[in-house]
Amino acid sequence: MKIYFLPEFYSSILPKTRSISLFALLLGSIVACDTTKKQTETPAEVTEYKPVSYDFEIQTVQKKSANCAPEACSEVSISYPVFAAGHDTHASINSLLTEEINRTLSDYIMEAEGTEDTDELCKMFIASYQDFKENFPESITPWYIRLEVAVGKTDRNFISLVINHASYTGGVHPNSSVSYLNIAADGEKIEELRYFVNSTSKLQDLAEKEFRKQYNIAPEEQLSDKGFLFDNDQFSLSEDFGVSKSGIVFYYNADEISSNAQSPIILTIPFKDLTGLYKHKMP
């Protein structure tokens, strides 16, 4: 059974059948000069792509400890889209996504060498918990990793994937986070914000204004006065970014920029504020 998604789909994976098509769009390369900065930024070129239909199915991987009560089983659960065979871009997306999933799993396993596949990593994680349980039998909460990958914003020139992480490997409370995987229509991973905007410095100015508005910080106030811990007390963009149906999204872990934050900080720059700056078709 194939599952398809609307271009604006972001928040969750739906069991209904959808379809999306990414059509070609020729965007000229625009050289943007930020007069408030000493250096001129040269925006990344956006290439025209042929129409491609991105068809995929949701695949689920689930591994559990053997011979355990349901409430005491260590578990790895992964849900992610697998793009249909027959197109080079699909193969590239599948490969990049698999690499990202395996890298995430490896972060939880001290013995991982970076060459293991997904199945091996799941087994290694469960084995780690079983070793832990043997040494600390009084521990009653099983370890788990849950990854859910959703198709976020789609465009003629790119697709943005949202990876939701949830885990428990001991300690006081579980952990959760979000990461993004942005891929161009030619199957290349998008590493830089310049793929999306003409000027990252102008985007940072917009983001700081939105951030101050979100946390009620006056322009003359220092960010540190409100408990935020940016380097040199200067606002900066998170390296973890994606594109949603609402705008460009930046994700900060709970303890990344604030010692007081009880939850992650999600900052969205609305498309309405990106007119003349966003390099792709506005929704």
- Summarised one tens digit per residue, pLDDT across range 226-255 is 889 899 999 999 999 999 999 999 999 878
Q: Is the dihedral of CA 267, 238, 31, 182 positive or negative?
A: negative
Stretch 133-156: mean pLDDT: 91
Indicate the pairing of strand 175-184 with strand 21-22.
unpaired
Residue 198 or residue 27, greater confidence: 198
For the chain, give every residue range classified as CATH 3.30.565.40. Answer: 21-29+44-192
For the chain, give every residue range classified as CATH 3.90.640.20. Answer: 194-273
Q: What is the dihedral of CA 22, 26, 29, 30, to 10 degrees?
A: -90
Residue 262, pLDDT > 70, answer no
What pLDDT, on the 0 to 100 scale, is given for residue 261? 63
- Summarised one tens digit per residue, pLDDT across range 208-231 is 999 999 999 999 999 999 889 899
Q: What is the 8-class DSSP label of residue 190?
A: P
91's enclosing H/E stretch is helix 88-106
| CATH superfamily of domain region 21-29+44-192 | Fervidobacterium nodosum Rt17-B1 like (3.30.565.40)
Task: Count Cβ neighbours within 10 Å for each residue of 180-215 and write b for 16 or more, e otherwise.
Answer: bbbbbbebeebeebbbbbbbbebbbebbbebbbeee
Indicate the pairing of strand 175-184 with strand 241-243.
unpaired
- Summarised one tens digit per residue, pLDDT across range 93-111 is 999 999 999 999 999 998 8
- Summarised one tens digit per residue, pLDDT across range 10-22 is 333 333 333 444 3
CB atoms within 10 A of CB 44: 18
CATH architecture of the domain 194-273 equals Alpha-Beta Complex (3.90)
